[in-house]
Structure formats: C-alpha cells, structure tokens
A and B are shown apart, each in its own frame.
Chain A
Amino acid sequence: DTAVSQTPKYLVTQMGNDKSIKCEQNLGHDTMYWYKQDSKKFLKIMFSYNNKELIINETVPNRFSPKSPDKAHLNLHINSLELGDSAVYFCASSQALDPFTDTQYFGPGTRLTVL
C-alpha cells in the first residue's frame, strides 16, 4: 500500500500553461508538505498544511497555489509555467508538527519539465 502518492509521475508541458499535481496520503496524518528539488538535488520546502490550514509558505511565486480539500490531500496548482519551474516536486506528510517524534514520509515525486 502506497503511503504518500503523487500524480502524475512525469509532467511535460509548454511554458505559459497551467498544471496541477495531486498528492494523497493514507497514513491518517494531519500535516502535509510540498518540496521542490532542483537539478542540483537541492530540496527546499515550499508549503506545509496542518489540518487543511496553511502553516508554512516560503518565498514562492504566487503562481503556485496549494489547495487542501481534506487532510488526506494536498494539491499543487501552478499557473503560467516558466522554464525555471522545471524540477521534481515532492509531497510529504507527517503526523503532527513535532520534529522530535515525527517522521516525514515523502512521495515518489513528480518530475515537471517545462519546454
């Protein structure tokens, strides 16, 4: 059983398009995250949600809009895609907000390529 799943696995699109990436976790966790990993493997937090509420919103262009319809889902919508948006996007989840007892479980990633 997949704990954190993302769709699609690969996404190739033209500059200027709007696209969405979906994430679902079946672990019953309260907190979900989106990370971006660039071509140099640098992994950086973008957003986190706790019980469907936005907790962390790092310096991310407002073309990126996360949406959490329920605790088990955190989707990422990107408007007006740019070349620099090409990266692997990882969703993750954890039980709560305690870093000392929690483990963040990562999804398999979505490789976005903007042409």
Chain B
Amino acid sequence: TQLLEQSPQFLSIQEGENLTVYCNSSSVFSSLQWYRQEPGEGPVLLVTVVTGGEVKKLKRLTFQFGDARKDSSLHITAAQTGDTGLYLCAGVEKGSGAGSYQLTFGKGTKLSVIP
C-alpha cells in the first residue's frame, strides 16, 4: 500500500483568506481524489483528478494534480466558515482482487475558518 502525506495537519485561518493544502506521495497514483468530511459524517467526494498536470476548479476550490502524478494540492480562495472540515486526499491504486481498485487515504488536513 502506498502512503500519502498531507500537510498541514491543522490549519486555522480567518474568513476571507486564501489557503493551500498539500498531498504528497513518493509513488505514482493512477488518479487522486479529494474528499471533505464534516464531524459525525462520512467523507464526501469533491473531485477526481486523473491526468498529470490537470487543474480542476469547483467555485472557490482549485485542485491540481502534479505532472508526475505523485502529488496534489487544493487551493481555497476567500475561505468561508462553511469550508470548515477535514479535507482528505485519496490515491487510487489497484486492489488485491482482479479488476478491483482501492482508495488509500491521507491523514487529512483539519481546516477551521474563523469568522
């Protein structure tokens, strides 16, 4: 199983500020996903990036997949209190069963946006 390192582990910022969180691995993933998890809830998929160098935008969120497909970043512009949550990246890799895949999650970045 490949490992994903996320940084920072914790991030507390004022509303309106910009931020970037990172997801790094020494191994190549076929694709990478970002999830957001709120307390007491399961993770919810935000985006899947597939191609090296790919950039995807969801409103104020910008996701980038590294050229070598080993790392990714999530940039949030003008953070809002509703962005508060745990942001998880997950690398997609081949599973142990034939034709299967599995997600390997990073440990997450806990973001707090203060009004």
Contact = CB atoms under 8 A, between A and B. Distances in A.
B110 interface: yes
A41 B38 CA distance: 12
Nearest to A55: B97
B62 interface: no
Nearest to B42: A106
A11 to B, nearest CB: 15
B19 interface: no
Interface in A48-63: 48, 50, 54-58
Contacts of A50: 97, 100
A104 B43 CA distance: 9
B98 to A, nearest CB: 8
Interface stretch (A12-20, A64-72, A79-87, A95-103): A95-103
Q: Which of B42, B86, B95 has the most CB of A within 10 A?
A: B42
Contacts, number: 68
What is the interface residue range for chain A against chain B? 20 to 34
B99 interface: yes
B96 A103 contact: no
Q: Which of A41, A45, A48, A99 has the most CB of B within 10 A?
A: A99
B43 A106 contact: yes
A44 interface: yes
A97 B108 contact: no
Contacts of B86: 41
Interface in B31-58: 31, 40-45, 48, 50
Contacts of B30: 99
Given A43-B108, A99-B92, A103-B45, 8 more contacts: A42-B107, A43-B88, A48-B97, A50-B97, A55-B95, A56-B102, A97-B101, A98-B101
